[in-house]
Amino acid sequence: MESNDSLGIIGGLVVFLFVVLIFLSPFLLLIFGGLIGAARERRHFEELAEREKALGGFLLTDLKTPPPGMAVANTALVSGSVVIAADHFKNFCAQWRKVFGGEFRALGKMQERARREAILRMVDEARQLGATSVCNIRVETSTIGSRQEGRVAGCELLAYGTALVPAAPGASTPDASATSMSTPGAVPPPIPGSPR
């Protein structure tokens, strides 16, 4: 009799644990995914910081003209693009933030990662061309996901600009006299080959 009672209790516990596991599994998966997503995001931020330190004296600007005194030998359009996905934990937190109001910090971090990665990819392309600076930088963003449901699956970001390949020291370029800004207060010339 005692063995039947103990089997009944064990069987009841197994059924109870099974039911609890079924109801808690979505939350456990959400938490597990959030932890993995946070670890990957942290690692990506660290990698971005290392790559940005390696930029050294590479000049990035949103101005349309080259830096004063720079003799430009060649220009080229360069771009960098990235798509960063949001994990379900971020979407879950964003849904709660919509209820209470405030800033979407988790989605802001995702946007920051995408912006920094796209700019670094653009710089990598410019360096392959021999450029030492990029001017006229522009950034375009796009949200990937269902806007009707208010969920964000990710964001796409495109950074583009004009890579400036400097002229060799002492070499004459068509605009070398125009790009040497010897007159104080002079207006910088346009980038060679670009419409004003």
Query: Which 3 state secondary structure label does DSSP give 84?
Result: strand
- Going by pLDDT thresholds of 50, 70 and 90, the confidence category of residue 152 is low
Residue 60 per-residue DSSP state: E
For range 9-31, the mean pLDDT: 79
Q: Give just the sign of the alpha carbon dihedral 141, 145, 150, 151.
A: negative
Predicted local distance difference test score (pLDDT) of residue 186:
42
- Structure-token match 């010339």, residue found: 189
Range with the poorest average pLDDT among 86-95, 106-115, 186-195: 186-195
Quote the mean pLDDT of the chain.
78
Indicate whether 160 pLDDT > 90: yes
Radius of gyration of the chain (CA): 27
How far apart are alpha carbons 64 and 138 in whole angstroms?
Answer: 10
Out of 13-27, 39-53, 82-96, the most confident range is 39-53
Indicate whether 178 pLDDT > 70: no
Predicted local distance difference test score (pLDDT) of residue 184:
42
- Going by pLDDT thresholds of 50, 70 and 90, the confidence category of residue 191 is low
How far apart are alpha carbons 80 and 157 in whole angstroms?
Answer: 8
How far apart are alpha carbons 83 and 114 in whole angstroms?
Answer: 7
For range 10-24, the mean pLDDT: 79
- Domain boundaries along the sequence of the chain: 57-179
* DSSP per-residue codes, 154-192: EEEEEEEEEEEEEPPTT---TTHHHHS--STTPPPPPPT
Domain 57-179 indexed as CATH 3.30.450.70: no
Indicate whether 110 pLDDT > 70: yes
Run of H or E including 109: helix 105-128
Q: Is 128 exposed, middle or buried (0-12, 13-18, 19+ CB in 10 A)?
A: exposed
pLDDT, tens digit, for every residue of 56-95?
888 999 999 888 888 888 999 999 999 988 777 777 777 7
Residue 65 per-residue DSSP state: S
